[in-house]
Amino acid sequence: MAKVIHEREKCIGCGACTGVCSDFFEMGDDGKSMLKGAVQKGENFELELKDAGCCKEAEAVCPVHCIHVK
């Protein structure tokens, strides 16, 4: 199992995560990306997956390091 955590507050809306991982990330109306299907936990959004898949690439390309895969 993998957990993906998106610190959406820190997102600068560069779109890099949606470029490498459109299966899990899309841009929201407010210009920040959204982790599809994630549940809000405080200020963060979390998604549990069997396989993190391209979320690892999204974690790697995010310039402000607000995507975490555990």
Residue 64 Cβ vs ligand SF4, minimum distance, rounded to whole Å: 5
Residues near ligand SF4 (CB under 6 A): 11-17, 32-33, 61-64, 66-67
In the complex, minimum distance from the CB of residue 9 to ligand SF4, in angstroms, rounded to a whole number: 10
Q: Is 54 strand, coil or helix?
A: coil
The residue (of 45 and 50) whose beta carbon lies closer to ligand SF4 is 45
Q: Do 33 and 18 form a contact (C-beta atoms < 8 A)?
A: yes
CB of 20 to ligand SF4, least distance (A): 9
Alpha-carbon distances, residue 50 vs 30, 47, 70 (angstroms): 29, 10, 12
